[in-house]
Amino acid sequence: MGSIHLHVDQYINYLIIEKGLSSNTITAYSRDLSVFIDFIKKNNIDELINTDTIVILKHLIELRKKGLNARSRARHLVAIRGFYKFLVQEKEMSHDPAAVVDLPKVGFKLPDVLSKEDVKQLLDAPDCSKPKGMRDSAMLELLYAAGLRVSELINTKLQDVNLEACFVRVYGKGAKERVVPIGTYAREKVDLYIKASRPALLKNIPSPTLFVARAGKPMTRQGFWKLLKRYSQVCGLKKKITPHSLRHSFASHLLEGGADLRAVQIMLGHTDISTTQIYTHVAHERLKKIHEEFHPRG
């Protein structure tokens, strides 16, 4: 089994160095491959060259029996496919047994989108008379204004924000850089936070990170999730809200307002426009509901 683990380590290093994938993606791939390697071990296979398509199919069947849904099983298979493709590329294997395995069918799921009224309630929730409230308000406004992922938000540096030109420089998946405009609301909130709140939170501790927590430490994903949950409860919003809800809402509201799909794709940082097209379905669903509600023969 030593050689198998060595190959996994080599593949993970390849994803980090060559592909530049995010730490979250690396963690997910490592976890999924670890589960697959454990399955191989249980089946008394000690060399990857002895694995075949049947073994991979058996693994996916076992995952289904354990209760993993199609989306989770598809993610596992993507990790396995990438691993075998790497092994063939490195000439460790002569053929790819995962290439002929189809991805489990994943149902079409529209993202959760907040109404414009719900977004306004949420963004107005923080108490801007206090340093933490100013910070929270700036974070929420910037997240919605630029359609950021939570990881992009918390990793934003002070130098990445240009308030005069009203844009933020974002480093997304695979360290890909994009520049996204922000509106006057976000500009004013971020400006207020930088001038009146950030120095109080830093307590003379230097930090390149824009949004900081206690004693100048960077805001964490978990910390932002907690404050978002708290503000959604304060507003009395009943639907489950995640940081991605504001990203989804950003895209949907732009398209509803007549924005070009290609422009939204660039702002979201999607490599493939088909990923962005899901939001056109959201916009169409909203239009159907409006028609049904207000048309005399709807």
Q: Which of 29, 144, 193, 279 is catalytic?
A: 279
Amino acid at 87: L
Amino acid at 265: Q
Q: Which of 76, 149, 187, 189 is catalytic?
A: 149
Active-site residue, 270 included = yes
Alpha-carbon distance 234 to 94, whole Å?
59
> What backbone phi and psi angles, to 5 degrees, belong to 128?
-80, 10
Active-site residue, 244 included = yes
Could you tell me the two tokens for 19?
């592909």
Q: What is the DSSP letter of 18?
A: I
Q: Which of 85, 221, 270, 286 is catalytic?
A: 270
> Is there a contact between 56 and 97 (Cβ–Cβ < 8 Å)?
yes
Radius of gyration over every alpha carbon of the chain, rounded to an integer in angstroms: 23
Could you tell me the two tokens for 158?
């002070």
Place of tokens 């296979």: 45
> Is there a contact between 206 and 216 (Cβ–Cβ < 8 Å)?
yes
**DSSP readout, 242-293?**
-HHHHHHHHHHHHHHTT--HHHHHHHHT-SSHHHHTHHHHHHHHHHHHHHHH
Q: Which of 7, 247, 248, 253 is catalytic?
A: 247
Active-site residue, 95 included = no
Active-site residue, 253 included = no
Q: Which of 132, 157, 169, 173 is catalytic?
A: 173
> Is there a contact between 52 and 40 (Cβ–Cβ < 8 Å)?
no
Question: Would you name the residues annotated as active-site residues?
Answer: 149, 173, 244, 247, 270, 279
